[in-house]
Amino acid sequence: MKTVKDYIRTIPDFPHEGIMFRDVTTLFSDPRGFRMAIDQLLHPYAGERIDRVVGLEARGFILGGAIAHQLSVGFVPVRKKGKLPGKTIAQSYTLEYGEATVEIHDDALQPGEKVLIVDDLLATGGTCEAGIKLVEKLGAEVVGCAFIVDLPELGGRKLLESLGMKVHMLCEFEGA
């Protein structure tokens, strides 16, 4: 029987030499694989109150939309700076070389709402940490962070757990 990891294609030297790109589009394009991933991402949160699903740009939108649909709750995107119309709040975070900023609509979440954050891959955890801070700035509470792939050598899980987050991932790959 295939696992979620079996559906993920690895592309060497993309987008730069020395990077092993974990391509989840092959998982998304297979109906059995995609259903399996959504079901497994939701499993640890069964019976838990979730009011909104927050998806991190860009593949987190695909997962977040499917999970929100499954739970019959709303979906909220966290986007790169300048991509959302209207009033937003922003959070910057550090990259290997420089800084990036993500935004959320300032009215996307209500105080007290319970939120699940999703993305395809957890590397250093910087984007997710920024997403957590945005959710908390709006007064909502993150109940967990769910990912398809973890790159444990990059320390993202440890970072998120140090923030008190419940972290769930479906598979691990070595290296960057």
Residues annotated as catalytic are 59, 96
What's the rounded Cα separation, in Å, for the pair 90 and 105?
9
What's the rounded Cα separation, in Å, for the pair 84 and 65?
17
3-state helix, strand, coil in the chain (%, to 5): 35, 35, 30
Residue 3, Ramachandran bin (φ over 0: left; ψ between -120 and 50: alpha; else beta): beta
Helices 31-42, 59-71: inter-axial angle, 10-degree rounding: 70
User: Residue 130: which H helix or E strand, with range?
Assistant: helix 126-137
Name residue 122's beta-bridge partners. 150
